[in-house]
C-alpha cells in the first residue's frame, strides 16, 4: 500500500532520480499485500541536520552516523532510508521477517527491487535501511555544493550535475 508520507519524501530526492525513485516505490508497493507498507524515513538531509545526526560522535548520544555534514549522500538528495510498517502500526527494521510468506524476507524483497535499479545497499557499511545512487563521490559533490552550483527553482538545495 502506498504511504502518503513516503510519496511526499520522494519529492525530496535529487530531481535526476525522482521519477526513478517513484517507479522503485511503486514496484515495492505492488510486491506486498495491503497491510505491508514501506516508508522512506529519510531522504534529503540538510548539512545542519547531518551535524545533529552526527552528534553521537561529538556529544552524548547514540552513534547514528560516521558522516559529518557534506559527507552523506543524503545531503545532496542521493540517498534513501526506509522501514517497513506492518498492519498500519508495527514499525520494523527486522531483516528476516517474511510477513507475506513467500519464503523471501520482506527486507530482502525491498533490497532486490532497489538493486535492480542500480541503487547501492548500505549493508556493506552496516547501514541496512540505507540505499544510495550517486553520480560521483561525496568529495566531488561537496566541491560543487561549496561552489553554489544549485538547481534554480527547487525548494531544497540540489547541485547541478
Domain-embedded: residue 55: yes
Domain-embedded: residue 151: no
Query: Domain with 55 in it: what CATH number?
Result: 3.30.1380.10
Domain-embedded: residue 156: no
Domain count, the chain: 1
Domain-embedded: residue 104: yes
DSSP letter, residue 67: P
**Three-state DSSP state, 41:** strand
pLDDT in tens, 10-21: 999 999 999 999
pLDDT in tens, 43-102: 999 988 887 775 655 555 555 566 788 899 999 999 999 999 999 999 999 999 999 999
Domain-embedded: residue 61: yes
Look up the pTM and report it: 0.90
Most distant pair of Cα atoms in the chain: their distance: 50
Residue in the block written with cell 545533529: 52
Domain-embedded: residue 158: no
Domain-embedded: residue 114: yes
- Supply the range of the domain harboring residue 21: 4-146
Phi, psi (5° rounding) for residue 88?
Answer: 80, -10
Amino acid at each position: 500500500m502506498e504511504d502518503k508520507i513516503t510519496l511526499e519524501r520522494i519529492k525530496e530526492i535529487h530531481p535526476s532520480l525522482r521519477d526513478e525513485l517513484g517507479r522503485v516505490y511503486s514496484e515495492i508497493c505492488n510486491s506486498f499485500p495491503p497491510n505491508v507498507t514501506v516508508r522512506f524515513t529519510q531522504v534529503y538531509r540538510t548539512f545542519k541536520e547531518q551535524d545533529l545526526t552526527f552528534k553521537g560522535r561529538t556529544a552524548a548520544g547514540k552513534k547514528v552516523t560516521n558522516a559529518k555534514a557534506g559527507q552523506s549522500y543524503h545531503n545532496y538528495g542521493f540517498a534513501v532510508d526506509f522501514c517497513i510498517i506492518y498492519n498500519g502500526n508495527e514499525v520494523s527494521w527486522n531483516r528476516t521477517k517474511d510477513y507475506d510468506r513467500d519464503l523471501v524476507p520482506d527486507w530482502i524483497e525491498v533490497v532486490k527491487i532497489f538493486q535492480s535499479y542500480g541503487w547501492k545497499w548500505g549493508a556493506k557499511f552496516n547501514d541496512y535501511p540505507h540505499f544510495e545512487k550517486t553520480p560521483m563521490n561525496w568529495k566531488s559533490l561537496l566541491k560543487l555544493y561549496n561552489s553554489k552550483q544549485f538547481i534554480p527553482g527547487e525548494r531544497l538545495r540540489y547541485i547541478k550535475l
